[in-house]
Structure 1
Amino acid sequence: MGIMANIAALPKQEKSLVLAAIVAIACIFIEHSLLEGGRVVSLIAAAVLIAVIVLASTRVAHHAEILAHKVGDPYGTMILTLSAVAVEVMILAIMLGSSTSPTLVRDTIYSAVMLDINGILGLAALIGGLRHGEQPYNDNSGKTYGVMILTAMGISMIVPEFVPDDRWHYYSGFTIIAMIALYALFLKMQVGPHSYFFSYSYKKTPSATASAGSSPNMSAEAAPSSQKQTSMPAPTDTEETEESSTAISIAVILLGVVVIGFLAEFMAAFLDSGLEGTSAPPALMAVIVASISAAPEILTALRAALRNRMQSVINIAMGASLSTVILTVPVMEAIALYTGQPFVMAMTPVQTVMVVITLIVAAINLNDGETNAIEGMTHFVLFATFIMLTMLGL
């Protein structure tokens, strides 16, 4: 009965996804009429679809959070970031079919890194610092994420500038192997020997007190599985009901990703029609794609900062940046090899300078195990600079 009740309640609980599915079906019948309505109608339709996609993405992120809570960190953060990256990769792949921009992939990855590190981390550290002062976290996580992001972006988005055009496919294949090798080892360490790098023991929480065991930097989530289970809230229903809710969350995530894919296809068509012949910044579509995938992460990170849980913010912002680079690049490079059409992956001089400044500032700010409002403001000003440069077409 519990399982059937959960399934029966889904349409009411998932109003956003139901609305998204209805909009996707409606677009099948009215797409051509809207496109014939002119530029303004196309832009309005694109704006509506972007809003619906963000709502659907929020529900996907919500169920990812449910799964994340059940498994704890670092697995939980991985689920959150991977769900966001999956949405981004799918939207990118769909938009590539209608976009003629050879720099869309590069600009989207660059925008995502700016948005995650300077936007999400900067704003969260700023408002969290204004409310709580210095906010502690495990400094091992910031250092590890930083060096991984620098390595991944250096290999995939800086070095390609020096690769001859007639040898791009060799380096593209190498990049795929390098990214997979880097992430495979990182994943093994993150969930294995170095899992405590990405956790922090908050002394005021009961779970942290219960697990004040082997390492000062190890939280309840990083403790042995028997301790992890005791720190989690006890289920109120039967074990079968809990398993069914997990299955429902997984099903909703998969359904949400499919619906978002359909909406993204229509959104790309409306954006192309609406922006054609305008003076819109060339990277505008890339910023839109990055913003859609990051929207749920922004809300989650801000809530964590206000609750004085900076470790979650670090894991979300830096983990999302790393996942965007190290997972999006091999997928897109594989598409380029398959189609025989390379993407422009080498960043412009302005983009390279912004990334270098961002990672240097992050390395300094994330070196002492505490964030504050000043550090948050430095990143947020860099984010504002990114927005200004984008508006200037740089």
Structure 2
Amino acid sequence: MSATPVVALVLLALIWGRSLPPVMVLLVGVVLIAAVLVAVHHAEVVALRVGEPLGSLILAVAVTVIEVGLVLSLMASGGPEAATLARDTVFAAVMITLNGIVGLCLVVGALRHGVVSFNAEGSSGSLATVTALATLCLVLPTVTTSSPGSTFTGPQLAFAAIVSLALYAVYVFVQTVRHRDYFLPVGPDGITPEDAHEAPPTARTALLSLALLVISLVAVVGLAKSASPAIEAGVRAAGAPLAVVGVAIALLVLLPETLAALRAAARNRLQTSFNLAMGSSLASIGLTIPAIAVATIWLPGPLVLGLGPTQMILLALSVVVGILTVVAGRATVLQGAVHLLIFASFLFIAVTP
């Protein structure tokens, strides 16, 4: 695993500035996925060393750097058609987390354990924060009138970025300091036990992981930029809308969190699964939107953030179903199936709008 960042960096040096044949595009894709997984792993090692709440911030920032790097690489080379890529990626992340990850975890947990339990207080608070951020950053641009199209004016975008950061900071504080017990797994008897903490790595191990994390992030952003022309050409050749690229980015970035959430669900620790899912959604909005907002200073063209009518309906449906799922603190396989069907509808509409 330690060799992956170095291999990715060497590959980046070999292909930089060159037109890639199909075989090389496939190789870059494989190495890119491996580098993303390794980057998140090393971020987790560093997070375990420094403790909370700084550890959660390091992990979220690492994942956000990957997401922002992929989005900016494609936006910089995609022309006017890429103006909606940031919106499509963030919206895809919300739908994947609220429906895909939550649905899979509920199904896996309920099939193994019958009825699964979680903290309604922590889960409902997370969902409320996701709803507020998604509405502010993805719905309001569609209905504001100060700028044409589904865009914010400069001051509006700055305000949305500041509010996003503020809400995310409050969420991290509540989850890790003020009301940490609301986010602990619920036991079979209804008691919330403390998580068993792994022994923190040594300072040397943490420093090595930090160096490999930086190398991985550089490699991910560079490889994504090199492969972006081939990715866009493939999407156009398939006749699919560019929004599919945003879905692919979100799926790639959220893969490690999805696997970790499923492992927790299999152990009947649904609250941990919900923390990972909704925490990833919050980081995707609360950190990515401000980063993209700053990047628009150098990017040409407008930043389209507002959702279309179909996307807003799917978002509203996800929020309503999510509220009904978390309010009781208990769920069965039925709730998981409903979330998965909403997620399947999102994927189908993304490909055939």
Displacement of 1:305 in angstroms is 1.4
Partner of 1:98: 77
Matched, 1:83 2:56: no
Decide whether aligned partners of structure 1 residues 293 and 45 sit closer, same or farther in structure 2, where only a CA change above 3 A counts: same
> 2:125 is matched with which residue: 115, 127, 144?
144
Q: Deviation per CA, 1:261-284, whole angstroms, max 9, x where unpaired? A: 111111212213444455122211
> 1:58 is matched with which residue: 16, 37, 43?
37
What CA distance in whole angstroms lies between the structure 2 residues aligned with 1:139 and 1:57? Answer: 32
Displacement of 1:332 in angstroms is 1.2
AA of the residue aligned to 1:220: E
Decide whether aligned partners of structure 1 residues 234 and 194 sit closer, same or farther in structure 2, where only a CA change above 3 A counts: closer
Query: How do 1:193-204 residues align onto structure 2 when only pairs under 5 Å count?
Result: 193-200=178-185, 202=187
Partner of 2:320: 360
What CA distance in whole angstroms lies between the structure 2 residues aligned with 1:78 and 1:217? Answer: 28
Partner of 1:252: 212
Displacement of 1:245 in angstroms is 1.3
What CA distance in whole angstroms lies between the structure 1 residues aligned with 2:155 and 2:240? Answer: 35
Partner of 1:386: 346
What CA distance in whole angstroms lies between the structure 2 residues aligned with 1:197 and 1:112? Answer: 24
Decide whether aligned partners of structure 1 residues 123 and 78 sit closer, same or farther in structure 2, where only a CA change above 3 A counts: farther
TM-score by length of 2: 0.89
AA of the residue aligned to 1:105: A
AA of the residue aligned to 2:83: P
Does the aligned pair in 2 maintain the 1:197–1:217 contact within 8 Å? Answer: no
What CA distance in whole angstroms lies between the structure 2 residues aligned with 1:115 and 1:169? Answer: 29
Query: How do 1:178-327 residues align onto structure 2 when only pairs under 5 Å count?
Result: 178-200=163-185, 202=187, 219-221=193-195, 232=197, 242-276=202-236, 278-327=238-287
AA of the residue aligned to 2:154: H
Q: Deviation per CA, 1:156-204, whole angstroms, max 9, x where unpaired? A: 1111112221672221122122212222322332332122222235479
Secondary structure of the residue aligned to 2:178 is: coil
Displacement of 1:234 in angstroms is 5.6
Structure 1, unmatched stretches of 5+, are 1-12, 205-215, 222-230, 236-240
> 2:304 is matched with which residue: 315, 329, 344?
344
What CA distance in whole angstroms lies between the structure 2 residues aligned with 1:77 and 1:139? Answer: 21
What CA distance in whole angstroms lies between the structure 2 residues aligned with 1:334 and 1:272? Answer: 24
Partner of 2:14: 26
What CA distance in whole angstroms lies between the structure 2 residues aligned with 1:71 and 1:366? Answer: 31
Query: How do 1:133-172 residues align onto structure 2 when only pairs under 5 Å count?
Result: 133-163=114-144, 164-165=146-147, 168-172=153-157
Decide whether aligned partners of structure 1 residues 372 and 16 sit closer, same or farther in structure 2, where only a CA change above 3 A counts: farther
Partner of 1:127: 108
State the identity %.
Answer: 27
What CA distance in whole angstroms lies between the structure 1 residues aligned with 2:50 and 2:265? Answer: 21
Does the aligned pair in 2 maintain the 1:169–1:337 contact within 8 Å? Answer: no
Structure 2, unmatched stretches of 5+, are none
AA of the residue aligned to 2:252: I
AA of the residue aligned to 1:358: S
What CA distance in whole angstroms lies between the structure 1 residues aligned with 2:306 and 2:253? Answer: 22
AA of the residue aligned to 2:215: L
TM-score by length of 1: 0.80
Secondary structure of the residue aligned to 1:191 is: helix
Aligned residues: 347
Secondary structure of the residue aligned to 1:344 is: coil
- RMSD value, Cα: 2.6
Decide whether aligned partners of structure 1 residues 134 and 67 sit closer, same or farther in structure 2, where only a CA change above 3 A counts: farther
